[in-house]
Structure 1
């Protein structure tokens, strides 16, 4: 079963040019591949879900269907969490820029985007409260205001930890999308 949210568009991986692919700009796409930390965490969660499902089958075979239902429900929650973890990241389309977090999704249409730029700043390490010095691709909304600057990608998140070249390529691609659509 193909999982389209796991793969990035091949045009983003094979060229050094940050030009945009000219096919299907209407659909949302992530301009980079999920990082090894994110994929590894999701794989561990799916492995845990397989053991929970096996336990549910064993419980169902012993005759306690209500307990088996609870265990199957727990496995479904773990699987849903793993899939949401894989879906997290920054997505772009002709409509705007979307930041998908675990519990929230924020979308900014291109007219709402003031600027998208890479800055050197303290960033959170793997989303934990600890901060380290790194780079972040930040979105400044049109009109400013409080909370107007949002980090979209960082060099120390689950997608780009120890992958500076991948961060640079993804940041350049998102900036290219922003430059093209903010002009138009």
Structure 2
């Protein structure tokens, strides 16, 4: 009889543990869907990368201004197409929002990236991702991919090729 109680107790403990693990798995899947980068309403993943200017920049958490996080490479034609608009909008609204342009250096040549920065006269920080950490954190599948992040560090939108008038409207809305 005592043996039956012990077996029953072990079974109940194992069943309780299985239920606990199932609940934890569901909660983790709800927080960040597997195979999908950060979506609107979710916190922007933490990311820390060096930049051409010698500083290290961090993404994630509260900020002073909204942020446009732009992932690009010098060989990417749509990235080159949106570059003049990014530079112009940043120069016009840099007191209202930040731009971090993350060069996917793991898939680019540093000299080509530097040439593109000079060609389009980027005044915003250009971060360098030598190891692909941004791809792991943000899980983007194509470039350019842009994340509009608010002051609280929450992703507001995921944009691919930027429409300048739309972005300008969003910058004005976010800086009120």
TM-score when normalising by structure 1: 0.29
* Larger Cα-atom Rg: 2
Return the structure number with greater relative CO, CA threshold 8 A, min gap 6: 2
Q: Which has the higher strand share?
A: 1
TM-score when normalising by structure 2: 0.30
